[in-house]
Amino acid sequence: MSTRDATLTQARELTHFIGGKQVRGADAKSGGRFGEVFNPTTGDLSGRVPLASKAETEQAIANAEAAFREWAATSPLARARVMFRFKELVEKHLEELALLISSEHGKVLSDAKGSVQRGLEVVEFACGIPHLLKGEYSDSVSAGIDVYSMRQPLGVCAGITPFNFPAMVPMWMFPIAIACGNPFILKPSEKDPSCPQRLGELMLEAGAPPGVLNVLNGDKEAVDTVLTDPRVHAVSFVGSTPIARYVFSTASMSGKRVQALGGAKNHMVVMPDADIDVAADALMSAAYGSAGERCMAISVAVPVTDRTANELVEAMTPRIRKLKVGSSIDAASEMGPLVTREHREKVKGYIDLGVKEGANLVVDGRDFSLKKHPKGFFLGGSLFDKVKPAMRIYKEEIFGPVLSVVRARTFDEALALPSDHEYGNGVAIFTRNGDVARNFAQKVSCGMVGINVPIPVPLSFHSFGGWKSSIFGDMYQHGPEGVRFYSRIKTVTARWREGVKPAANFGMPTMK
């Protein structure tokens, strides 16, 4: 037996979670396919994840559809109580969930716990579903006629989520969908599937009937089945822009509601009056937290004037060189490894490209390795200065621990950079001037703005989403827009006139 065969034999075999049960994937003799899950810190293979076929995906959809009628008829108050119990269970198992994330994604434990907590905030929002689903009522719009509206569930809904937040992003989706009365199929990333599956188990333990939350592992075959199956009524997606565009066009053509969130190139403008140390500390967490694998990571710093730029680069350089890169489960680590070997090589390739394009590589993280884990998927933090807007390292999403400094001469020049960029997810400005900050927030062409806040992710009772090529579809995730996305409105016009037999009327009711 070869070393690789022995490793495969030792690797943990993961399952789907369908209809309230652990479901093994079809074995290789029956045409089953499997993906590999790694521990990014050690570089070792840790699991084999089944990749659902079209037939297996259709069976998962059938399980969800079978659960729809009973769950939709369950009162919003009873659904809210399930959410309250689910919240308690997630809090109880927070350490376990964070460890699953760190072991398969590579983000450090403190970051993993924080991401679960941000997902929990959406669960807390969903606990208010009896209020959130209330309709409107208009009394006596005409003689004896009242009009009222109600919000009702859609049917089977699906979520396709990325590797970088295996707990938070799924919890942006399924708690609201399920609270609205819809069964849900979650297709998480096959790179780190263990935490999403555990969430499915906890939802069942919280009292959701079998089939209300299903976790299906898979690749393009499973995704395409979800996007085109007529039993799926709505699809929510977070990932890269090319795939977001594909998900939106394919699912929309199949008659589904779609919210597809894509890539980002988030800028942070630093004005001459900003506190440079405060801005540098903010950039450290925003650019290098989670190894830069965040759709809201700051990957471009825009200092206004050369003096500001020089001070910022001077402040950032020693901070980056002192960055504690280490094991994802080491409490002393500030940044862990990247998610896969392939992704690490992709990010290194962008650093090579930046040097070739003529940017000034101030801090080079390409040669970092951890002595204890030499096979781990590590990079150190990298910093480019004097990056130009025509360079690919500026135009494209790198999704790694690489920060580019693009110098601007004036406020207007700084404002134009994020406004003219292909992506429009998030942006920030650091300044002490309220008029400048207000002017920037009003004029910048991005969906989420931070003022002296480097990562402006809205809290759960607001909605999350960008502009331009960062989103496809009309409704954002979670918050009020999430409730609207996962429910549809029905309006009733009713006449109650005791003892009066109205004459035939062939017109529509009016206010007369």
pLDDT confidence of residue 31: 79
Please state, in angstroms and rounded to a whole number, the distance separating the CA atoms of residues 403 and 354: 11
Q: 10-24, 242-256, 263-277, 347-361: which range is least confident on average? A: 10-24
Percent of the chain with pLDDT over 70: 95
pLDDT confidence of residue 504: 64
Residue 494 burial (CB count, 10 A): 9
pLDDT confidence of residue 498: 67
Tell me the sheet residues that pair with 13.
48
User: Residue 157 catalytic?
Assistant: no
Q: Residue for token digits 């004029």?
A: 443
Looking at per-residue pLDDT, the higher value among 230 and 511 belongs to 230
448-451/426-430 β-pairing: parallel
The separation between the first and the last C-alpha atoms of the chain, rounded to the nearest angstrom, is: 86
Q: Tell me: the pLDDT tens digits for 455-466?
A: 999 999 999 999
Instruction: Retrieve residue 68's tokens.
Output: 């729809």
Please state, in angstroms and rounded to a whole number, the distance separating the CA atoms of residues 139 and 137: 6
pLDDT confidence of residue 500: 59
Give the 3-state secondary structure of residue 474.
Answer: coil
Q: Tell me: the pLDDT tens digits for 309-334?
A: 999 999 999 999 999 999 999 999 99
Is pLDDT above 80 for 7? no
Residue 503 burial (CB count, 10 A): 4
Is pLDDT above 50 for 105? yes
The residue-averaged pLDDT of 361-384 equals 97
Instruction: Say which CATH architecture domain 7-262+470-490 belongs to.
Output: 3-Layer(aba) Sandwich (3.40)
Is pLDDT above 60 for 103? yes
Instruction: Retrieve residue 280's tokens.
Output: 């540098």
Kindly list the domain boundaries of the chain, sorted by start residue.
7-262+470-490, 266-451
pLDDT confidence of residue 407: 98
Percent of the chain with pLDDT over 90: 91
Is pLDDT above 90 for 192? yes
Q: Residue 1: pLDDT band by 50, 70, 90 thresholds?
A: very low
Q: Residue 250: pLDDT band by 50, 70, 90 thresholds?
A: very high
Is pLDDT above 80 for 479? yes
pLDDT confidence of residue 231: 98
- Strands (DSSP E) contained in 381-486 are 382-385, 402-405, 423-424, 426-430, 448-451, 467-468, 471-472
Torsion of CA 63, 69, 73, 79, to 10 degrees: 10
CATH class of 266-451: alpha beta
Looking at per-residue pLDDT, the higher value among 29 and 346 belongs to 346
Is pLDDT above 90 for 510? no
> Among residues 337, 347, 381, 342, which one has the least CA distance to residue 362?
381
The residue-averaged pLDDT of 117-122 equals 97
Is pLDDT above 60 for 81? yes
pLDDT confidence of residue 474: 86
pLDDT confidence of residue 6: 45
The residue-averaged pLDDT of 291-313 equals 98
Catalytic residue among 157, 195, 295, 446: 295
The residue-averaged pLDDT of 460-484 equals 95
The residue-averaged pLDDT of 87-103 equals 98
Is pLDDT above 60 for 217? yes
pLDDT confidence of residue 144: 84
pLDDT confidence of residue 506: 65
Mean pLDDT of the chain: 95
pLDDT confidence of residue 3: 45
264 neighbors 93 (Cβ within 8 angstroms) = no
pLDDT confidence of residue 27: 82
The residue-averaged pLDDT of 426-434 equals 98
Is pLDDT above 70 for 37? yes
pLDDT confidence of residue 25: 92
Looking at per-residue pLDDT, the higher value among 497 and 108 belongs to 108
Q: 24-33, 80-89, 300-309: which range is least confident on average? A: 24-33
Q: 137-146, 338-347, 455-464: which range is least confident on average? A: 137-146
Is pLDDT above 70 for 5? no
pLDDT confidence of residue 116: 98
Is pLDDT above 90 for 450? yes
Please state, in angstroms and rounded to a whole number, the distance separating the CA atoms of residues 271 and 279: 10
Is pLDDT above 70 for 502? no
pTM value is 0.94
235 neighbors 257 (Cβ within 8 angstroms) = yes
